[in-house]
Structure 1
Amino acid sequence: MNKLFVTGLLIFSALNVIGQAKNQVKFTAKITNRNSDTLVIKGNDNFKQVIPINKKEIFVASFDAPKGFYVFSDGTESSRLYLKPNSEVNLTMNAKEFDETIVYKGKGVDESNFLAQQALRNEKFEEAFTKEPAEFTALLEAKKKEDAESLEKGKFDPEFVTAMKSNFERFTQYSLENYERAAKANKLTGKPSPDFDYENHKGGKTKLSDLKGKYVYIDLWATWCAPCRAEIPYLQKIEEKYHGKNIEFVSVSIDKLKDNEKWKKFVVDKKLGGIQLFADKDWESEFVTNYGVTGIPRFILIDPNGNVLKADAARPSEPELQAQLDTLLK
């Protein structure tokens, strides 16, 4: 299951409070195994608060922030939080177990703790997408009940409750759509993969059928996609490890045509390896629609005969991928 599915459903607009005289938030974070010396909080209307670490290795800042939903990032991963005027937010976590260890203490943090726990519930639900239709439906209904009961138990801001109820509805709808997508992708397993014929960054065009005789690991991505960019360092390490083996690594950008030059520059600036291709019609490209792609990054694994091994393969950052490649390429 694509993690973008889980995180993407919690993107909200900030809930601005008209006439609020004082919007200041006091924010403190103590993070072990941190990925960066800077925390960044982003919100609606281009809100951005950069918080550097101090000499005591704590992130501390006071800033004005309208009531609403925000995202904080440690440079590698991100999570949602809810800020209210006059809040005193004290965050602790272990960056090596990012989502699992987030705890907020202080004033006005109940909503943020709810979001942290909700993210874990959503992630756990990913297992449901491997189940048969009847079991998937039962698990989805159970989750809907658990979400509603968890929201009712808390004493949350009324606007937060309204937003979360709307989010639950979107989650249900998106879950149903993605289950159908996953079912469509699974039907491709063992069958000949749809082909493509795309612009190659090095010149000319490349077809998937040109690569028969080798395993092919395909990365569907875009320059604007943050989760896609986060996978790049891991993909580069995978490419290095299996260099010279019977496998090709193919990255297919689904950026819009107007961003073709941006894609070319990105490939050069980031020193991207493998075979770098540019899809012909972004999201509407036939190869993309044939695989039922609704979110990126998306990874696909093809065998030397051109048949689909995994229509929704593991990410480079997931140990599962290396385990599978080790078996295939031994």
Structure 2
Amino acid sequence: MKKWISTALLFLVSITVFGQETMTIQVEIANRNGDVVYLKEGRKNVLEIKVDDKGIFKSTFPIKEGMYQFFDGNEYAQLFLKPGYDLKMSLDAKKFDETLKFSGKGANENTFLAEQSLIDQKMDFDSLLAMEETNFNKAIEEKRNADTGRLDKAALDTNFATLFKNTLEANLSGLKQYHTQIMANKKLNNTAAPDFVYENHKGGKTSLESMKGKYVYIDVWATWCGPCRAEIPFLKELEKNYHGKNIEFVSVSVDVEKDYEKWKTFVTEKALGGTQLYADKNWNSDFIKAFGINSIPRFILIDPKGVVIDADAARPSNPKLKTQLDGLVK
């Protein structure tokens, strides 16, 4: 959930002080992932620091006040930086979050962020999002009070406190929107799935109706979607494990018309298995709209009678899916 929690930080407009004032950062990393570390502001690279002959990353550089992300390979930490800081970091990349320590000017704010990250990682977000509305809202309010309470007791930089509270509210708002969508999806469970008739990559058209008598696991995706592509190896493994059993794996592309040929080529070059279909009106396809799909990947599980088992099924990479399918598919 760490990646999700960071989303608001990546796009939230930071409180900034413009100018060319500098700060210094020094980082010691045991078991480092590479010889270069990066500071990013959202998607923009702010700084690259190469390791010196003592194994230390150190740099003095111009900075504007705000939130940044420090990357060592794929591991990262949120940092609050501002002119005048002289920040020292140490960590073991094998236990990145658990070993992250700060000293020097700016240590207090960044220690707070590191501790908050560990707290968030311990939260059971799946259980939180599965709560009915009253309990969910109560849990959200408890988290807000706990996080702001810790902040108030810490007596940190005023601008940092404002930025943190804004980010917290953005994250909680995102959770509420996600919860609302999950609750809407649950209402579709145990209802008849609407039919579709889509172009099949192998030729002709294929309908959902034609697959009655089998369980159907539907992957709604697009060629441009990174998280969708990341699920492909896991989906292929599922197809292999359940080959010959009473289940059909169906991938429905919502690529727009200009990417139609890209879809055809991608399916061929990546040797995608299962049933590969192209939605007739991409996002405006009746089937896509019926399930309220506005983000991908999205997975749907339907029973042999055409009834929705799970309108927001687990991803192929989630072990919960195999457990569920083992209990259904013979």
Report the TM-score range of the alignment, normalised by the length of the smaller protein: 0.7 to 0.9
Asked whether the 8 Å contact 2:22–2:62 carries over to 1, the reply is no
Which stretch of the first structure deviates more once superposed, 19-28 or 295-304?
A: 19-28
> Given residue 213 of structure 2, which amino acid in structure 1 is its aligned partner?
G
Q: For residue 84 of structure 1, what is the aligned residue in structure 2?
A: 81
For 2:169 and 2:117, the matched residues in 1 are separated by 19
Q: Which runs of 5+ in 1 are unaligned?
A: none
Q: For residue 106 of structure 1, what is the aligned residue in structure 2?
A: 102
1:92-113 Cα shifts (integer Å, max 9, x gaps): 3547xx8xx5442134432540
TM-score of the pair, normalised by structure 2:
0.78
Instruction: Give the Å deviation of 1:322.
Output: 1.0
TM-score of the pair, normalised by structure 1:
0.78
Q: Secondary structure at the match of 1:153?
A: helix
Instruction: Find out whether 1:47 has 2:48 as its counterpart.
Output: no
Instruction: Find out whether 1:19 has 2:19 as its counterpart.
Output: yes
Instruction: Give the Å deviation of 1:239.
Output: 1.6
Asked whether the 8 Å contact 2:190–2:309 carries over to 1, the reply is yes
Asked whether the 8 Å contact 1:25–1:65 carries over to 2, the reply is no
Asked whether the 8 Å contact 1:254–1:282 carries over to 2, the reply is yes
Instruction: Give the Å deviation of 1:328.
Output: 1.5
Q: For residue 227 of structure 2, what is the aligned residue in structure 1?
A: 227
Q: For residue 130 of structure 2, what is the aligned residue in structure 1?
A: 130
Q: For residue 70 of structure 1, what is the aligned residue in structure 2?
A: 69
> Given residue 46 of structure 1, which amino acid in structure 2 is its aligned partner?
K
Q: Secondary structure at the match of 1:250?
A: strand
> Given residue 7 of structure 2, which amino acid in structure 1 is its aligned partner?
G
Q: Which runs of 5+ in 2 are unaligned?
A: none
> Given residue 47 of structure 1, which amino acid in structure 2 is its aligned partner?
N
Q: 1:22 to 1:40 in 2, by over 3 A?
A: closer
Q: For residue 292 of structure 1, what is the aligned residue in structure 2?
A: 292
For 1:281 and 1:63, the matched residues in 2 are separated by 53
Q: 1:90 to 1:218 in 2, by over 3 A?
A: farther
For 2:303 and 2:56, the matched residues in 1 are separated by 48
Q: 1:260 to 1:47 in 2, by over 3 A?
A: farther
Q: 1:13 to 1:138 in 2, by over 3 A?
A: closer
Q: For residue 120 of structure 1, what is the aligned residue in structure 2?
A: 121
Q: 1:261 to 1:71 in 2, by over 3 A?
A: farther
> Given residue 307 of structure 1, which amino acid in structure 2 is its aligned partner?
V
Asked whether the 8 Å contact 1:28–1:91 carries over to 2, the reply is yes
Q: For residue 301 of structure 2, what is the aligned residue in structure 1?
A: 301
Aligned residues: 319
Instruction: Give the Å deviation of 1:200.
Output: 3.1
Q: For residue 209 of structure 1, what is the aligned residue in structure 2?
A: 209
Q: Secondary structure at the match of 1:106?
A: strand
Instruction: Give the Å deviation of 1:24.
Output: 5.1
**Cα RMSD, aligned residues only:** 3.7
Give aligned-pair identity as a percent: 39
Q: 1:172 to 1:83 in 2, by over 3 A?
A: closer
Asked whether the 8 Å contact 2:21–2:62 carries over to 1, the reply is no
For 1:89 and 1:155, the matched residues in 2 are separated by 21
Asked whether the 8 Å contact 1:30–1:59 carries over to 2, the reply is no
Q: 1:307 to 1:80 in 2, by over 3 A?
A: farther
1:248-267 Cα shifts (integer Å, max 9, x gaps): 11222333333334433433
Q: 1:65 to 1:185 in 2, by over 3 A?
A: farther
> Given residue 201 of structure 1, which amino acid in structure 2 is its aligned partner?
H
Instruction: Give the Å deviation of 1:214.
Output: 1.4
Instruction: Give the Å deviation of 1:41.
Output: 6.0
Trace 1:310-321 onto structure 2 (pairs within 5 A): 310-321=310-321
Q: Secondary structure at the match of 1:178?
A: helix
For 1:196 and 1:177, the matched residues in 2 are separated by 28
Asked whether the 8 Å contact 2:51–2:58 carries over to 1, the reply is no
Q: For residue 177 of structure 2, what is the aligned residue in structure 1?
A: 177
Instruction: Give the Å deviation of 1:136.
Output: 1.8
> Given residue 81 of structure 1, which amino acid in structure 2 is its aligned partner?
Q
Larger C-alpha radius of gyration, 1 or 2? Answer: 2
Q: 1:102 to 1:221 in 2, by over 3 A?
A: farther
Which stretch of the first structure deviates more once superposed, 188-197 or 61-70?
A: 61-70
For 1:27 and 1:211, the matched residues in 2 are separated by 57
Q: Secondary structure at the match of 2:91?
A: strand
Instruction: Give the Å deviation of 1:114.
Output: 4.3
Which stretch of the first structure deviates more once superposed, 134-143 or 101-110?
A: 101-110
> Given residue 195 of structure 2, which amino acid in structure 1 is its aligned partner?
D
Asked whether the 8 Å contact 2:22–2:60 carries over to 1, the reply is no
> Given residue 200 of structure 1, which amino acid in structure 2 is its aligned partner?
N
Asked whether the 8 Å contact 1:209–1:306 carries over to 2, the reply is yes
Q: 1:234 to 1:131 in 2, by over 3 A?
A: same
